[in-house]
């Protein structure tokens, strides 16, 4: 992973988020799995850009402002006049379990690779040091958009760029269409260098009986570096013909598990980009995830954390 002058590119969606607090009131924020990871990469001093599409409304402006304030390059956030970003409402059900309802069908992020400026985004993909995206990213796009993304990823790899991917499977994002989800994700995996899946997600989408089975399935796609997140217990890291379980260094009682995986992925990629080996990177990833779950919400306040 040379070429330090090149930047990391995270691709996906940033949403407007309304989250109900303990007092019953809703607070306004911005979130999104790859957007969260981009923020934590920037806080780890990794040059990073976020590629997405937003509207020209005040809420879209606020998301762009947040990205810039966090040190994320926003030149690949395409603005679609007259459109609105996705809205996510975060609440709890009667049992206290986190519940998310999203309005996203008309969100411009879904058309990133079909908007007039899509070629500029694709060109940036081919020039990036590392490209990171997720299963949630893939769920956004039509077949046309997916074809353009996959073509850009192939060109990026041909230019020496690395591709990192977290399956992050959410059935509702795919409208329950497991067949399409498997087909699209399988196509993406053919172009991945670093896989960062969560075992729980892989078990739902693919029926993997164990993290070891996830490793074997991903290796069959030719992926040479894999770190499987396995809840609060450990991560299973496979690279260079070896496979090692990396335990969580400190057990943390979570205040809020939201975005733990996003923080893990940022910690892992930042460590790898700075020269750490995969096992060392998994340790750094655990530490960052541990910081994230000590706080409410996806984006941890800078003050009082080890993330700045």
Helix (H) or strand (E) holding 164: strand 162-166
d(CA 305, CA 308): 7
How many CB atoms are located within 10 Å of the residue 235 CB? 29
- In this structure, what token pair is assigned to residue 197? 């899946």
Is the separation of the CB atoms in 148 and 171 below 8 Å?
no
Q: What tens digit of pLDDT does each residue of 202-249 get?
A: 999 999 999 999 999 999 999 999 999 998 879 999 999 999 999 988
Q: What tens digit of pLDDT does each residue of 131-161 get?
A: 999 999 999 999 999 999 999 999 999 999 9
- In this structure, what token pair is assigned to residue 38? 């981009």
Q: Could you list the active site residues?
A: 262
4 falls in which pLDDT band (50, 70, 90)? very low
Asked if residue 307 has pLDDT above 60, the reply is no
Domains within the chain, CATH numbers bracketed? 8-292 (3.40.1190.20)
DSSP string, 233-293: TEEEEEETTEEEEEE-SS----S--TTHHHHHHHHHHHHHHTT--HHHHHHHHHHHHHHHT
- Across 176-180, 246-250, 266-270, least confident range: 246-250
Asked if residue 281 has pLDDT above 90, the reply is yes
Give Cα 101 to chain centroid, integer Å.
19
- In this structure, what token pair is assigned to residue 192? 């991945």
Task: Look up residue 306 and give its DSSP letter.
Answer: S
Asked if residue 21 has pLDDT above 90, the reply is no
pLDDT value at position 100? 87
Helix (H) or strand (E) holding 212: helix 211-219
Is the separation of the CB atoms in 109 and 85 below 8 Å?
yes
pLDDT value at position 302? 80
Asked if residue 121 has pLDDT above 60, the reply is yes
pLDDT value at position 2? 38
Helix (H) or strand (E) holding 51: strand 48-54
Task: Look up residue 17 and give its DSSP letter.
Answer: E
pLDDT value at position 251? 74
258 falls in which pLDDT band (50, 70, 90)? confident
Helix (H) or strand (E) holding 31: strand 26-31
Alpha carbon distances (Å) from 13 to 89, 222, 276? 15, 28, 29
Asked if residue 305 has pLDDT above 50, the reply is no
Asked if residue 308 has pLDDT above 50, the reply is no
Asked if residue 304 has pLDDT above 50, the reply is no
Q: What tens digit of pLDDT does each residue of 38-79 get?
A: 999 999 999 999 999 999 999 999 999 999 999 999 999 999
């Amino acid at each position: 992973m040379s070429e330090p002058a090149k930047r990391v590119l995270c691709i996906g969606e940033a949403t407007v988020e309304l989250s109900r607090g303990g007092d019953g009131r809703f607070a306004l924020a911005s979130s999104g799995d790859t957007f969260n990871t981009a923020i934590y990469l920037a806080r780890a001093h990794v040059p990073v850009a976020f590629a997405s599409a937003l509207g020209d409304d005040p809420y879209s402006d606020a998301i762009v402002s947040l990205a810039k304030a966090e040190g994320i390059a926003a030149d690949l956030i395409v603005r679609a006049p007259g459109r609105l970003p996705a809205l996510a409402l975060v609440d709890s059900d009667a049992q206290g379990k986190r519940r998310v309802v999203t309005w996203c069908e008309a969100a411009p992020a879904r058309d990133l690779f079909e908007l007039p400026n899509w070629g500029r985004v694709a060109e940036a993909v081919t020039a990036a040091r590392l490209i990171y995206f997720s299963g949630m990213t893939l769920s956004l796009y039509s077949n046309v958009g997916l074809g353009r993304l996959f073509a850009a990823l192939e060109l990026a790899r041909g230019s020496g760029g690395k591709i990192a991917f977290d399956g992050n499977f959410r059935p509702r994002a795919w409208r329950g269409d497991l067949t399409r989800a498997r087909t699209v994700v399988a196509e993406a995996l053919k172009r991945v260098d670093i896989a960062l899946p969560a075992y729980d997600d892989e078990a739902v989408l693919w029926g993997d009986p164990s993290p070891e089975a996830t490793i074997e399935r991903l290796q069959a796609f030719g992926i040479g570096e894999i770190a499987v997140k396995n809840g609060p217990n450990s991560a299973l890291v496979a690279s260079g013909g070896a496979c090692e379980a990396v335990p969580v260094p400190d057990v943390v009682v979570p205040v809020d598990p939201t975005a733990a995986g996003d923080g893990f992925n940022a910690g892992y990629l930042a460590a790898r980009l700075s020269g750490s080996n995969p096992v060392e990177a998994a340790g750094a990833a655990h530490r960052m995830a541990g910081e994230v779950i000590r706080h409410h919400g996806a984006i941890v306040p800078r003050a009082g954390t080890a993330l700045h």
